[in-house]
Amino acid sequence: MVTGPNRDWIYPLATSTWDENEVAAMQDVMSTGRFTMGEKVFQFEGMFAQKFGAKHAVMSNSGSSANLLALTSQALMRHSGFPKEGAEVIVPAVSWSTTYYPVTQAGFTLRFVDIDIHTLNIDLDAVRSAVNENTVGILGVNLLGNPADLRGLREIADSNALFLVEDNCESLGSSLEGKYSGTWGNVGTFSSFYSHHISTMEGGLSLTDCDETYEVMKSLRAHGWTRGMSESSRFFESSGDSWQDSFSFVLPGYNLRPLELEGAIGIAQMAKIDDIVSGRRSNAEKFIDLMRKFPDLLPQKEIGSSSWFGFAITLTGRLVGRRAELVRILDQFGVQSRPVVAGNFTRNPVLKYLRTAPIGSLPNSDYVHDNSLFIGNNHHPMDVELQTLSKALEAFSI
């Protein structure tokens, strides 16, 4: 049986959000001959920020880069350079790899804490216990469309003078207390990769209400030069020669610029966001109803209003330890599955290359690593897919 990406799945992990509008947007850009970052990108940034209630948006070439911009901006703004050795950022132990790499790349030390077994998001009591004299920030993750306890994270950050960055790459359109996730932190990040809520081929965005953070992230995105920076910025001292200043480099930046094609596609995708999120939420209602038939299979507990990136399932009771069997049966029925993001990330060999604080017991993260998986969701009606899932789960849990 073919199990790779070329297989025709009955129930795939992801489907396209494109139609003729995205194709027309690309054709429009190609007719101009301007392919690198330009007006389409800037227009998309403005539309995206306005949609989610933020002052500024910075588009980059991926959600991973959006995280890198967010963490590096906080390092530079807090420390006027990279932080002192041992400066810690608290992170949940369950997330994707590029939640963690930018923390180390920005000069911080990772302090891993456990998650809540029901929501799959960072555990607030664990965060409170982890705060110490070396803590400078919290990197909260809204996992699989589900907002973390963002009110609680914001309060912990504020009471301890910490920055809060939200990795919202899987959770576009989710909200808590009527406020969109990705807007509770100093910076919130989004991904527009193919399998996410909206797609610009590759792409990411970083939202902030802080003018200086915005200017720093724009500079970091494009070589660390001064273009687009205000002359009042503490990182930019004008020489009075605008020609020379436009080629002045003031920050240790990167080249993370998106393509003009991606900005144009993003503009087309903006009109679809509400329908995409609404469709995913409608499918989630049917999924939750289906899962009531299987009391030993625990779905992710929703906090606030999830945008349901996917549907997580945790094995409990008599089904503990049988995930490999479940994966095999799902595969036989044509249902594509994968681990809950990357499981307990501290169990990956790459940890030897990252700067980490001592790692304590992470029982919930370990449990999810061994006993959880997730399956896909999209914005189209999924009656056939969910009927197939029901048959597969019945075959597994008999």
How far apart CA 320 and CA 308 sit, in angstroms, is: 24
Residue 74 domain flag? yes
- Same-domain status, 306 and 287: yes
CB atoms within 10 A of CB 167: 32
Give 217-249 as a 3 state SS string: HHHHHECCECCCCCCCCCCCCCCCCHHHHCCCE
**Boundary-marking domain end, from 270, 293, 309:** 270
Q: Judging by DSSP bridges, how do beta strands 163-167 and 310-315 pair with one another?
A: unpaired
Identify the pLDDT of residue 6: 58
- Which of 246, 270, 294 lies at the terminal end of a domain, its last residue? 270
Note whether 188 and 64 are same-domain residues: yes
Pairing of strands 88-92, 135-141: parallel
What's the CATH number where 348 sits?
3.90.1150.10
Q: Is 158 within 8 Å of 185 (Cβ atoms)?
A: no
Which of 72-76, 228-232, 277-281, 299-303 has the weakest average pLDDT?
228-232
Cα dihedral: 351, 353, 355, 360 (round 10):
20
Q: Is the same domain home to 52 and 184?
A: yes
Mean pLDDT of 171-184: 98
Number of Cβ atoms within 10 Å of the Cβ of 13: 17
In this predicted structure, the answer to whether residue 5 has a pLDDT above a threshold of 60 is no
Among candidate residues 254, 69, 258, 252, the one with its CA nearest the CA of residue 165: 69
Confidence band for 3, pLDDT divided at 50, 70 and 90: low
DSSP codes of every residue in 7-53? S--SB-S------HHHHHHHHHHHHHT--BS-HHHHHHHHHHHHHHT
Looking at the structure, do residues 296 and 149 belong to the same domain, yes or no? no
333 in any annotated domain: yes
Would residue 15 count as lying in a domain? no
Residue-wise pLDDT tens digits, 34-80 = 999 999 999 999 999 999 999 999 999 999 999 999 999 999 998 77
- pLDDT, residue 1, reads 42
Same domain, yes or no, for 197 and 285?
Answer: no
Query: pLDDT tens across 216-263, in order?
Result: 999 999 999 998 788 778 888 888 888 888 888 999 999 999 999 999
Q: How far apart, in whole angstroms, are the C-alpha atoms of residue 160 and residue 158?
A: 5
pLDDT tens digits for range 321-350: 999 999 999 999 999 999 999 999 999 999
Q: What is the pLDDT of residues 343-391, one digit of tens each?
A: 999 999 999 999 999 999 999 999 999 999 999 999 999 999 999 999 9
C-alpha to C-alpha distance for 77 and 26, rounded to whole angstroms: 37
| Domain-located, residue 9 | no
Please, is 369 exposed, middle or buried when counting C-beta atoms within 10 Å of its C-beta (0-12, 13-18, 19+)? Answer: buried
Calpha distance 87→282 (Å, rounded): 43
Q: Is the dihedral of CA 319, 324, 328, 334 positive or negative?
A: positive
Same domain, 59 and 192: yes
**Whether residues 289 and 257 fall in one domain:** no
Domain check: are 248 and 386 in the same one?
Answer: no
Which residue in the block uniquely carries the two structure tokens 């910076």? 187
pLDDT tens string 111-156: 999 999 999 999 999 999 999 999 999 999 999 999 999 999 999 9
Which of 220, 243, 270 corresponds to the end of one domain? 270
Pairing of strands 163-167, 204-208: unpaired
Give a yes or no: residue 8 inside a domain: no
Domain match, 245 and 257 both:
yes
**Residue 340 located in a structural domain:** yes
CA–CA distance from 288 to each of 95, 122, 311, 313 (Å)? 23, 22, 9, 11
Give 302-360 as a DSSP string. Answer: P-SB---SEEEEEE-GGGTT-HHHHHHHHHHTTB-EE-STTSBGGGSGGGGGS-BPPP-
**Per-residue model confidence (pLDDT) at position 187:** 98
Residue 1: inside a domain, yes or no?
no
Give dist(CA 254, CA 201) in Å, integer. 20
Q: How far apart are CA 294 and CA 349, in angstroms?
A: 35
CATH of the domain at 88: 3.40.640.10
**Domain annotation covers residue 35:** yes
Average pLDDT value for residue range 253-282: 98
Reading the block at residue 307, the tokens are 């945008």
Q: What is the pLDDT of residue 2?
A: 46
Q: How open is the CA angle 81-87-89, to the nearest 5 degrees? A: 105
Residues 220 and 302 in one domain: no
Look-up of token digits 């901006």: 73
CB atoms within 10 A of CB 272: 18
Other C-beta atoms closer than 10 Å to the C-beta of 86 total 12
Q: Quick one: 190 and 51 in the same domain?
A: yes
Structural domains in the chain (count): 2
Q: Which two tokens stand for residue 398?
A: 């008999």
Rg of the chain over Cα atoms, rounded to whole angstroms, equals 21
Residues 192 and 304 both lie in one domain: no
Give the SS3 label for residue 129: helix
- Both tokens of 120, joined, read 């799959």
Q: What one-letter code names the amino acid at 339? A: P
Structural domain range at position 202: 20-270
Catalytic residues: 196
Residues 74-99 pLDDT 10s: 999 987 777 888 999 999 999 999 99
According to DSSP, the residues that pair with 315 across neighbouring strands are 297
